[in-house]
Amino acid sequence: MSDTPLLRADHGAVRVLTVHRPDKLNALDAATLDALDAAFAAAADDDSVRVVVLTGSGPKAFVAGADIAQMNTLTPVQGRDFSLKGQRLMRRIEKMPKPVIAMINGFALGGGLELAMACHLRIAADTAKVGQPEINLGLIPGFGGSQRLLRLAGRAAALELCLTGAPVDAARALQLRIVNRVVPAAELEAETMKLAQQLANAAPLALRGILDCIAVGGECGIEEGLEYESAQFGLMFATEDMREGTQAFLERRKPAFSGK
């Protein structure tokens, strides 16, 4: 078994990152958080990468949580530092200029659900389960779970999952808007890569503009959000991709976007 906590594979313009600690159900320790942070920074800077897919190794877990054995020894100051390390990673993913898809192949619990919620889109196998079970350890979510769950699923669902610690199945997660899609486990990889390829074929600068607009709009008032959208819309007219896309539409052909 490789000692590397993270695997990388490129499929054209789609980069697949796989948390690779199957003996620990892919639990997040400090080294894995660092590896993920470096991998997402590299993907953001690599012009050949247009979409990132994030998943977990093995059939059981996406990421089953943070590494409890490591957390058990932490002091209060170290605990806060561990939380901040995780939160910095989640913000890096959330602010990625390229779409990030979480392919949830099994348990996404605690830090695993927090990791998935930082991604832009989430596709879950019908066998997956998600939850924030920190209460059962005498803890609270530390990588942004309380905040992103609140924003994705609303106050009632955030309180239910965080206060009870009980996981929910994929169907319930879809109902609560925690995940975007649920597919049969046997079709998860194919369906995720199909979506990833669709996004990889889209105009990269327009994708970035959409990600930026939604990120900014989610944190400000409607007037500021609309103003930001108009500014981003105008910037698109300076791109070759906008000219290509509109010309391809007029010529009734598929556009070939270059990211320029």
Active site residues: 114, 134
User: Nearest CA to 157 among 167, 212, 191, 51?
Assistant: 167
Supply the DSSP symbol for 133.
G
CA dist., res. 74 & res. 192, Å (int): 37
Strand order of the sheet with strand 61-63?
A: 61-63, 107-109, 129-131, 168-169
Q: What is the Cα–Cα distance from 195 to 187, expressed in whole angstroms? A: 12
Handedness of CA 57, 63, 69, 70 (dihedral sign): positive
For residue 117, how many C-alpha atoms fall within 13 Å in the half-sphere facing its CB?
30
Distance between CA 89 and CA 37 in Å, rounded? 5
Distance of CA 11 to the CA centre of its chain: 18
CB within 8 Å of 104: residues ≥ 6 apart: 55, 62, 116, 122, 123, 124, 125, 128, 130, 170, 179
Other beta carbons within 10 angstroms of residue 194's beta carbon come to 11
